[in-house]
Amino acid sequence: MTIENLSSNKSFGGWHKQYRHRSEVLNCDMRFAIYLPPQAAGGQKVPALYWLSGLTCTDENFMQKAGAQQMAAQLGMALVAPDTSPRGETVADDEAYDLGQGAGFYVNATQAPWNRHYRMYDYVLDELPHLVESVFPVATVRSIAGHSMGGHGALVLALRNPQRYRSVSAFSPIANPVNCPWGKKAFAAYLGEDTAEWAQYDTSLLMRDADDRVPALVDQGEADNFLVEQLKPEALEAAAAASDYPLQLRRHEGYDHSYYFIASFIGEHLRFHAKYLGL
């Protein structure tokens, strides 16, 4: 697979690089960013944390705003940040910010016109890691994390594929999308009106019925404008209690939905993942 380097920036002894490649899964060109810590110099393979961003974001939000590179460099951890949806002139879109380009919700769409491109679940699970691990000095040892819509995606991917990820974490995830406006709108468009099909992408429902375990850390700001209507962390807490799932959910007074919140605790998240990645 041919990839095109778009930018390179040295950071804390390692390199942040942005690439474009053709995605066969999404049927369009895609962009992603990768941070390779100094330990990857000379070809030594390092474990990776995959980061999924939220609504309206791209690969750039996390890499530019979270301040994660310094800790990743100290730990010897690669960071991989895909875009949040397929993009391009031929890719279906919507005028609203919470559907279409920038709002892929990390599902495999089954409904037209979305099903021609919107298969972010398969892209993040299979195609992107295969590309990254075949081109860069990145090991097959992976963890996954995300924010908001990306927190939903990270938790769903880990819960459905516990053999693929050592650990999972999220900031302000959409924890029960089948019961919130964002999730209902996106799932109806991408998956159809049969709500039984939605359950496979609902974190709380998956955690309630989980047999296998992936250690999970979730941080939620108490001043988050979306807390009550959209995020519903109480549903995730109830699911973890019902299945005795190893979830650590922390609430933080005064913090909102922004990257100021993420930057405040991203170091703790990287150290959490480092324990399970063998660092």
pLDDT in tens, 2-38: 899 999 999 999 999 999 999 999 999 999 999 999 9
pLDDT single digits (tens) 227-276 = 999 999 999 999 999 999 999 999 999 999 999 999 999 999 999 999 99
Name the residues annotated as catalytic.
148, 224, 257
Q: Coil, strand or helix: which one is 94?
A: coil
Report the SS3 class of residue 117.
coil
Burial of 7 from C-beta contacts in 10 A (0-12 / 13-18 / 19+): exposed
Q: What is the per-residue pLDDT for 2? A: 84
Taking the whole predicted model, whether its pTM rises above 0.85 is answered as: yes
Q: Tell me the pLDDT band of 42, cut-offs 50, 70 and 90.
A: confident
Backbone angles phi, psi at 95, to 5 degrees: -70, -25
Each residue's pLDDT tens digit, 122-152: 999 999 999 999 999 999 999 999 999 999 9
Q: Which residues of 75-104 are buried (b: 16+ CB within 10 A; e: fewer)?
A: bbbbbbbbbbbbbeeebbbeeeebbbbbbb
